[in-house]
Amino acid sequence: MSMTPKSIVTIYDKERRDYQIEVNEYESLLLLEVYRSLHGLRDMVGHIKCNFESPNEILLADIHFEDNIARPPLGHIYAFFHQKPKSYRKLGLGNATLKFLIKYIKEKGIKKLHGSITQDDLNANPNLIKWYQDNGFIVEPLTAQEIENSVASICLYPQNQGKS
């Protein structure tokens, strides 16, 4: 499996805290992993996974940000830094990471980014379809290729982003 060398980009949440996106591009997979570094420790707080379906088309397979990260104390020194569980949702990280993904694939000449929304996705986030629409996606009719339990198909044409 070949991989494009990893690149790292900084993004910020709504409170201007910095996070790093590691971009890993494999033959058939694009993986954006979002990390937060604090007190010399590094936690992966979320990711976006995409599958290359063709040179011009990518399937948005998964977007996930952690809802309950807690580090157990590691001896007396680390006990000082022990924190309550932390949620990385509702901080704007999904927006920032998705905007980076759209810019990244637009620069690579990808013509279509698409995915499916399942009932489980909507149960977890009832505003998900609107969130995708606010980020430039259109809702399309479901096709036979959509995954089981899909309630909506979303699609974005990156080359059309930023045009009036």
Q: Which of 58-67, 98-107, 143-152 is predicted with the least confidence, judged by mean pLDDT?
A: 143-152
- Write down the pLDDT at residue 164: 43
Q: 79 pLDDT exceeds 70?
A: no
Residue ranges per structural domain of the chain: 3-160
* Token representation of residue 42: 């590094």
- Please tell me the distance from the alpha carbon of residue 143 to that of residue 12, in angstroms, as a whole number: 36
Mean pLDDT computed over every residue of the chain: 85
At 15-74, the pLDDT tens digits run: 999 999 999 999 899 999 999 987 777 889 999 999 999 999 999 999 999 987 766 555
Tokens 């910020």, located at residue: 12
Strands (E) located in 66-137: 112-118
Contact 136, 154 (CB under 8 A): no
Contact 36, 15 (CB under 8 A): no
Which listed CATH number (3.40.50.360, 3.40.50.1820, 3.50.50.60, 3.40.630.30) goes with 3-160? 3.40.630.30
* Token representation of residue 110: 């990808």
pTM value is 0.83
- Write down the pLDDT at residue 129: 95
